[in-house]
């Protein structure tokens, strides 16, 4: 075993009296990838910033971080400057704010080179171009002269990696390098990181909350919770034989793209403790399902449980470990406990529904064709004009945000609308919610065409059609109490005496009555989203539109909200239009799924069919890019890497929009290609419910 490149021991960080990081130790060797995982607020980023010496002045750092034996903690800024960027470099989450907007990308990389190497200006510029080429930026010579805002998110992150490896560092710290990116771009960037590591032989510390990324990329993993390292070990050990209940909970709460509804998500109850008010014992004890009384007494130390595998749990040395206890407890499931406590369940509490009543969970649903259509969208189009000029506005182009999409949702059904950012899914959703005449095509809600609605009818439709937005903090008025927020739709539709109804609704989404008097900012993210769901349910709608409802939440909390939505949907007979970019979440909740690409639907069908046998090359690439939190599976998978970025919706390619990036297009014969270039594929049915917009869907693909 060679000497570690970076060794951190007993690192502590305090902000005033608050200990944010409380004695974290780890080490990385050359060529090794250490994954640091944990939820927001666990202290992952602060740890790495402390190593780089980049924390603000009022933070107090104790402990030791040695880079090749040189102590970094407490070193002066001048000493650190000799290391930073040279032997240790960093890749940040948001590449737009990590680059100076007023300098050309090439100049910024060249500057990073010249800070540490005595080379001429011309040589440094040459090196910058080489580095951009290395990270896979096309036309590097021309691109080096571009400004950061001219790069897409993925390209900026590549440029950041180029800058990080400019001086051949020994350690690269990556702080959530792919969190802000779409999955296909994430796959590209991770590939570049791998390549960069091969070139430099550097050790990588990869900080992320995405267990899938860690499973595919890291050699060892460190799980952090409340400023502590709670488990560490080789990736396979930690993922397959976790010994700390937090890790177990995290692994079970994350939705996976390779398993469907049959594997239920197990959320971790509660939320991470505030670093200012930690429990006296194990920080996870209040949320731990297998806690024993001793857990509350003292904080457990990180002790070895197997060779190279450490865990901080009193029960980790029991035969079978906490996982066994976990399973025993889960056999009834939280559902059982919940139902027992509240006879009749939330469905009863919801009650009072005059129109038809909720569908009982036990009765078998009639087949899809016999159920009523609640939302029908046909050839919906939304184009934004692109204008130029301040005085004389002239139209210079058209953004084809949504370009003729069609789908329908039947009663009690969930349709997942997925796609990468910029594919037009949110625009489509807004067009539907406006309930106005679309630019082209037809939207019919509950069988009524929105183009011919009178204001009174529109109001009646709004009653049955409600929406939940992505960021609950933004969608709840900060100046109103929870009671006023939840009561707002009721009063808008002429309800009086809202008190009892609001209390029932809060109970329905798992909040307490006393929460009604509080303001949104007093809640955690998951609770806020529950308030937003309660508000959406206030009028007993039949169709709920959800715009990325869980993507702003932490993994363990996400599972709770997904389960709540699933349960409410079943008990109350709701239909959902679920818009998301996370394919794993959609697989969990949706009955049918529609994949969008550049304003068009690429593929639509039953969730099982689309995920198991994707027919469109884009769906195939998308699915292969989603990381699975299982090191075994993740490393064996073949990944289809898409080239380049999403084309601009102002100037979509002729014919099939996907052909510029399509892996199948490249292996087709010329005659077949011509069809892709000239003719735009229509969505055509394959078998049963499954439809696809590809001329060559039946031919054997590249996967």
Interface ranges with another protein (CB under 8 A): 264, 267, 269-271, 274, 333-335, 338-339, 345-346, 433, 458-459, 462-463, 465-467, 469, 471, 474-481, 483-484, 488-489, 492-493, 499, 502, 510-514, 516-519, 521-524, 526-527, 532, 535, 539, 557, 559-561, 563-564, 566-567
Q: CA 656, CA 695: separation in Å to the nearest integer?
A: 9
Q: CA 105, CA 88: separation in Å to the nearest integer?
A: 21
Least Å distance, CB 261 to another protein, is: 11
Cβ-contact 412, 357 below 8 angstroms: no
- Whose Cβ is closer to another protein: residue 99's or residue 511's? 511
- Whose Cβ is closer to another protein: residue 492's or residue 667's? 492
- Whose Cβ is closer to another protein: residue 409's or residue 465's? 465
Nearest to 66 by CA among 78, 51, 87, 55: 51
Q: Which position has the token pair 């937005």?
A: 469
Least Å distance, CB 273 to another protein, is: 9
- Whose Cβ is closer to another protein: residue 100's or residue 274's? 274
Nearest to 466 by CA among 440, 416, 432, 496: 432
List residues bridging with 66 in a β-sheet: 7, 71
Cβ-contact 392, 570 below 8 angstroms: no
Q: CA 426, CA 419: separation in Å to the nearest integer?
A: 10
Least Å distance, CB 260 to another protein, is: 15
Q: CA 39, CA 566: separation in Å to the nearest integer?
A: 23
Least Å distance, CB 512 to another protein, is: 7
List residues bridging with 311 in a β-sheet: 231, 303
What is the chain's Cα-based Rg? Answer: 27
Least Å distance, CB 422 to another protein, is: 19
Within 8 A by CB and 6+ apart from 233, the residues are 220, 221, 306, 308, 309, 310, 311
Q: Work out the number of other CB atoms within 10 angstroms of the CB of residue 355.
A: 7
> What is the CA angle 533-374-486, rounded to 5?
20
- Whose Cβ is closer to another protein: residue 386's or residue 492's? 492
- Whose Cβ is closer to another protein: residue 528's or residue 616's? 528
Q: Work out the number of other CB atoms within 10 angstroms of the CB of residue 298.
A: 11
- Whose Cβ is closer to another protein: residue 293's or residue 478's? 478
- Whose Cβ is closer to another protein: residue 561's or residue 623's? 561
- Whose Cβ is closer to another protein: residue 228's or residue 516's? 516
- Whose Cβ is closer to another protein: residue 198's or residue 263's? 263
- Whose Cβ is closer to another protein: residue 102's or residue 391's? 391
DSSP state of 268: P
The Cβ-side half-sphere exposure at 696, using a 13 Å CA radius, reads: 25
Extract the runs of DSSP E, i.e. beta strands, from 94-200. Answer: 171-175
Both ends of the chain: CA-CA distance in Å? 39
Q: Produce one character per residue of 436-473: b if its CB has 16 or more CB atoms within 10 Å, e if not.
A: eebeebebbbbeeebeebeeeebeeebebbbbbbbbbe
Nearest to 136 by CA among 120, 158, 154: 158
Least Å distance, CB 2 to another protein, is: 44
From edge to edge, which strands make up the β-sheet containing 6-15? 18-28, 6-15, 59-67, 70-71
Least Å distance, CB 269 to another protein, is: 4
Least Å distance, CB 610 to another protein, is: 24
Q: CA 499, CA 516: separation in Å to the nearest integer?
A: 9
Least Å distance, CB 249 to another protein, is: 11
Least Å distance, CB 391 to another protein, is: 17
Least Å distance, CB 297 to another protein, is: 21
SS3 150: helix
- Whose Cβ is closer to another protein: residue 21's or residue 502's? 502
Q: Work out the number of other CB atoms within 10 angstroms of the CB of residue 485.
A: 22
- Whose Cβ is closer to another protein: residue 264's or residue 701's? 264
């Amino acid at each position: 075993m060679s000497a570690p490149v970076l060794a951190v021991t007993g690192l502590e960080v305090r902000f005033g009296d608050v200990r944010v990081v409380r004695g974290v130790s780890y080490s990385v060797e050359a060529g090794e990838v250490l994954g640091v995982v944990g939820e927001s607020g666990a202290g992952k980023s602060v740890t790495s910033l402390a190593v780089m010496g980049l924390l603000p002045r009022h933070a107090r750092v104790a402990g030791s971080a040695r880079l090749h034996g040189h102590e970094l903690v407490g070193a002066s800024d001048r000493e650190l400057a000799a290391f930073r960027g040279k032997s240790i470099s960093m890749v940040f989450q948001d590449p737009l704010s990590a680059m100076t907007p007023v300098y050309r990308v090439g100049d910024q990389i060249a500057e990073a080179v010249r800070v540490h190497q005595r080379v001429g200006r011309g040589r440094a510029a040459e090196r910058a171009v080489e580095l951009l080429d290395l990270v896979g930026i096309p036309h590097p010579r021309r691109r080096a002269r571009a400004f950061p805002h001219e790069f897409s998110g993925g390209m900026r992150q590549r440029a950041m990696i180029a800058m990080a490896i400019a001086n051949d560092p020994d350690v690269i710290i990556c702080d959530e390098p792919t969190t802000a990116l779409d999955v296909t771009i994430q796959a590209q960037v991770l590939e570049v990181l791998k390549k960069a590591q091969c070139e430099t032989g550097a050790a990588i510390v990869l900080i992320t909350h995405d267990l899938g990324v860690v499973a595919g990329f890291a050699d060892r993993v460190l799980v952090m919770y409340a400023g502590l390292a709670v488990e560490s070990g080789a990736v396979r050990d930690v993922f397959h034989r976790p010994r700390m209940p937090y890790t177990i909970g995290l692994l079970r709460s994350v939705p996976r793209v390779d398993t469907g509804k049959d594997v239920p998500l197990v959320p971790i109850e509660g939320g991470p403790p505030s670093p200012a008010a930690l429990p006296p014992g194990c920080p996870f004890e209040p949320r731990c399902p297998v806690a024993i009384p001793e857990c509350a007494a003292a904080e457990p130390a990180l002790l070895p449980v197997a060779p190279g595998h450490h865990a901080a749990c009193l029960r980790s040395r029991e035969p079978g470990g906490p996982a066994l206890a976990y399973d025993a407890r889960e056999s009834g499931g939280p559902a059982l406990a919940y139902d027992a406590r509240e006879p009749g369940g939330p469905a009863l509490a919801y009650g009072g529904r005059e129109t038809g009543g909720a569908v009982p969970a036990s009765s078998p649903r009639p087949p899809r064709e016999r159920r009523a259509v609640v939302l029908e969208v046909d050839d919906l189009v939304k184009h934004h004009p692109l204008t130029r000029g301040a005085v004389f506005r002239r139209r210079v182009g058209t953004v084809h945000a949504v370009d003729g999409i069609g789908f329908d949702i039947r009663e009690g059904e969930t349709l997942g609308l997925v796609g990468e950012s910029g594919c037009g899914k949110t625009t489509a959703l807004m067009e539907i919610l406006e309930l106005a005449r679309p630019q082209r095509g037809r939207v019919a809600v509950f069988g009524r065409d929105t183009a011919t609605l009178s204001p009174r009818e529109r109001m009646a439709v709004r009653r049955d059609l409600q929406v939940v937005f992505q960021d609950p903090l933004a969608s709840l008025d900060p100046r109103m109490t929870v009671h006023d927020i939840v009561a707002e739709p009721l009063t808008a539709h002429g309800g009086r005496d809202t008190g009892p109804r609001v209390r029932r609704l809060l109970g329905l989404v798992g909040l307490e009555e006393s929460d009604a008097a509080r303001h949104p900012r007093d809640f955690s993210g998951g609770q806020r989203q529950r308030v937003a769901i309660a508000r959406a349910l206030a009028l007993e709608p039949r169709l709920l539109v959800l715009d990325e409802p869980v993507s702003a939440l932490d993994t363990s909390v996400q599972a709770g909200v997904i389960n709540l939505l699933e349960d409410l949907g079943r008990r109350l007979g709701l239909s959902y239009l679920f818009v998301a970019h996370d394919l794993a979440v959609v697989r969990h909740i949706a009955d049918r799924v529609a994949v969008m690409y550049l304003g068009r639907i690429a593929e639509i069908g039953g969730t099982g069919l689309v995920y198991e046998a994707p027919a469109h090359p884009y769906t195939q690439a998308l699915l292969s890019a989603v990381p699975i939190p299982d090191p075994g599976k993740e490393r064996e998978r073949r990944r289809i890497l898409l080239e380049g970025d999403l084309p601009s919706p102002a100037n979509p390619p002729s014919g099939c929009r996907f052909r510029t990036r399509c892996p199948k297009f490249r292996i087709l014969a010329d005659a077949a290609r011509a069809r892709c270039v000239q003719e735009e594929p229509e969505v055509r049915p394959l078998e049963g419910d499954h439809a696809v917009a590809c001329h060559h869907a039946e031919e054997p693909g590249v996967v």
